[in-house]
Amino acid sequence: MALQLPGPIADGGTLLHGRVTAPEIRPRHLLHVLPSFALGGVQVRLARLIGALGHRYRHTVLALDGNLAASAILDPAVDVDVEAVKHLPKHPPASLFAVRRRIRAEMPDLLCTYNWGAIDWAMGARFFSRCNHVHFEDGFGPDEIEHRLKRRAFLRRLALGKARHVIVPSHTLETIALSEWHLAPDHVRYIPNGIDADAFAATSHGAKPLFARAANETIIGTVAPLRPEKNVGRLIRAFAAMNSTVSTRLVIAGGGAQRDELGALAQSLGVADRVLFLGAINEPGRALAQFDIFALSSNTEQMPMCVLEAMAMALPIVSVDVGDVKHMLAPANRALTVPTANEAGFASALDTLVTEPNRRAELGRLNQRHVRETYPWQVMVDTYDRVFSER
């Protein structure tokens, strides 16, 4: 910061050693309210964006569940405060008044709310604080996988009807926002996730291995928090049902409440000695660098960052058909997506890739080229920058 001598200059500059310097530009203050700042796709995207946007913004991140694990991947050079929020009152209007008090205390240039868990803050922004507001919707919990709850659809329409933008990363969510929540088309914006594929791959390939592997074994892997909606049990069952005689191991990167339950499932299926749980990891690329096949078994996704990361690492992908995943992949890989109920088909798709190493390599190459061309990181950063800087 320039040394300021007494007496401001009329145009907002500063008198320094007898000359006028340019006025300092106050960074825009973004207040981000998330249900959790645990390590996950939304949080990783936000942490990377904060770093990429640099010093034009300062950020306050509020985690409503108190989990601040994603703080570990924030760029320490950027001005960002992360805070676990004390529980709000359970019922409106007390909760909405508490939201208003906090928003007024922060005085943000823009309030950014994320997913259903922050809907009280979106409601408070509309009816109490009247601050500029953008909402990000990235998917649903297990209670809204098959059908959205009508009460929540009504509350979303009420809370988000005057938001400057409602931003979604998938065409699936875009359709839901328009047809089920009845939001105005000019309020809903589709902004796909992006990745710096070359930088991600270069960093990850140079990382220290997370586990030892035998020379002739094929590694099937996934990166997912161990929660019910990620349905890692589906992947373990499919792995156990595979017919291939090739030496294979299943590696699961991610921590969570289902760890013991999933370990017991692997034990009951007789594959516990070939299933490795890595636990939660801050750098998923270190795991992906050791995989031969990436598998996604979730009940619900929209545009998962883990799929983009796997593509950046030139991996072939076997997935259930959820959200936009099928259309994210290179066309040649799309045949390896199967309906969520078809566990036999899931196992068969894994068998196919395990026994065809040349096909694995070709699909991985095509996925890597596709993600570079279709989902570039800088395009996403520039688009978010325009959203955050709107006056």
Average pLDDT on 216-230 reads 95
Local confidence band at 91 (pLDDT 50, 70, 90 cut-offs): confident
Query: By the 8 A CB rule, do 169 and 138 touch?
Result: yes
pLDDT for the residue 175:
94
CA angle 70, 72, 78 (to 5 degrees): 95
pLDDT for the residue 166:
97
pLDDT at 33 over 60: yes
pLDDT for the residue 361:
97
pLDDT at 224 over 90: yes
Contacts of 194 (CB under 8 A, 6+ apart): 308, 375, 376, 377, 378, 379, 380, 381
Nearest to 32 by CA among 69, 85, 91: 85
314: its two tokens: 């030139």
The winner for highest mean pLDDT among 74-88, 129-143, 149-163, 315-329 is 315-329
Question: How many angstroms separate the first and last alpha carbons of the chain?
Answer: 25
pLDDT at 147 over 90: no
Percent of the residues in the chain that have a pLDDT greater than 90, as a whole number: 78
pLDDT at 159 over 60: yes
Average pLDDT on 235-240 reads 98
Question: Which residue matches tokens 């823009």?
Answer: 110
How far is the CA of 262 from the CAs of 136, 297, 316, in angstroms? 31, 14, 24
Average pLDDT on 117-144 reads 88
Q: How far apart are CA 286 and CA 230, in angstroms?
A: 21
pLDDT at 22 over 60: no
Nearest to 25 by CA among 2, 49, 52: 2
Write the pLDDT tens digit of every residue in 168-203.
Answer: 999 999 999 999 999 999 999 999 999 999 999 998
How far is the CA of 30 from the CAs of 2, 138, 168, 332, in angstroms? 24, 19, 19, 41
Q: How far apart are CA 41 and CA 137, in angstroms?
A: 12
Nearest to 112 by CA among 85, 131, 92, 128: 131
Question: Which residue matches tokens 């890692």?
Answer: 232
Average pLDDT on 104-123 reads 94
Domains and CATH numbers, the chain: 14-194+377-389 (3.40.50.2000), 197-374 (3.40.50.2000)
Nearest to 354 by CA among 272, 273, 250, 274: 250
pLDDT for the residue 24:
55
CA 361 to chain centroid: 27
pLDDT for the residue 345:
97
Average pLDDT on 298-309 reads 95
